């Protein structure tokens, strides 16, 4: 089941949440919420190769698939995430067409890629030649913006996924926890490049208002919030109300 592509085909954005807590209960809670997919974060979160499989299994119980953010643009890491049963991958820090091509080829079996056949789980056993995992490459550097069309044109890349905070840093804007005009202009460039090349436009977002703004700008795959943030903000809100009791 690919709710991400289904949502986009239906003309609405696909919505995802980040999973950073290394516990199947967190995966279970996010899956029950009904997101189109969940993003286990193996780059900045607590997801490791030791705890990824239990998280994927918990998500699968509720027919929610995972798109794993890999630690780096490493073909071995990409192949392993897919073999464990992920729907796809988000590959960080892709700045050139060559790096995008390496990520895409790690997702595809020959003759379209270099992926080795070794499915740990059963998603590919029936038709490994036709199953197409999602390959989303992250646009989060000034160099990537300069190479945008070449990255978007790369065969096997399904979409471009903006990392807004790292992109702001790379553009010399410092840490921005709200998207400023230059980052929003970059969003528009990414959306336009994706439309030209028939690719999915995606982005991490910085709050619900930002999610609405991204959707209005044509972003098709939006990742908002995380299990850790939901726990922290929910607990803080409840505690504030408790303290108001007296």
Cα distance between residue 199 and residue 155, in whole Å? 10
| Nearest C-alpha neighbor of 13 from the set 210, 239, 246, 242 | 210
| Nearest C-alpha neighbor of 13 from the set 231, 154, 218, 158 | 218
Tokens encoding 112: 């379209």
Distances (CA, A) of 23 to 26, 61, 232: 5, 15, 16
| Nearest C-alpha neighbor of 60 from the set 122, 106, 107 | 122
Give the residue numbers annotated as catalytic, written as ranges. Answer: 44
Residues 6+ apart with CB under 8 A from 98: none
């Amino acid at each position: 089941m690919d709710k991400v592509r289904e949502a986009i085909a239906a003309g609405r954005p696909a919505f995802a949440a980040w999973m950073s807590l290394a516990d199947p209960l967190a995966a279970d809670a996010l899956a029950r919420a009904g997101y189109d997919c969940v993003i286990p974060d193996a780059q900045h979160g607590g997801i490791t190769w030791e705890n990824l499989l239990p998280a994927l299994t918990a998500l699968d119980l509720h027919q929610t698939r995972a798109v794993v953010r890999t630690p780096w643009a490493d073909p071995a890491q990409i192949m392993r995430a897919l073999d464990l049963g992920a729907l796809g991958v988000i590959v960080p820090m892709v700045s050139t067409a060559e790096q995008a091509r390496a990520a895409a080829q790690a997702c595809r079996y020959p003759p379209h890629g270099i992926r080795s056949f070794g499915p740990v789980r059963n998603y590919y056993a029936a038709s490994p030649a036709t199953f197409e995992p999602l390959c989303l490459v992250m646009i989060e550097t000034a160099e990537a913006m300069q190479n945008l069309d070449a990255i978007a044109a790369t065969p096997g890349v399904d979409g471009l996924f903006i990392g807004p905070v790292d992109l702001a840093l790379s553009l010399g804007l410092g840490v921005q926890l709200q998207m400023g005009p230059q980052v929003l202009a970059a969003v528009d460039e990414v959306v336009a490049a994706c439309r030209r090349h028939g690719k999915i436009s995606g982005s991490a977002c910085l709050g619900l208002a930002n999610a609405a703004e991204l959707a209005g700008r044509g972003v098709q795959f939006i990742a908002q919030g995380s299990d850790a943030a939901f726990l922290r903000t929910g607990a803080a809100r409840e505690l504030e109300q408790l303290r108001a009791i007296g």
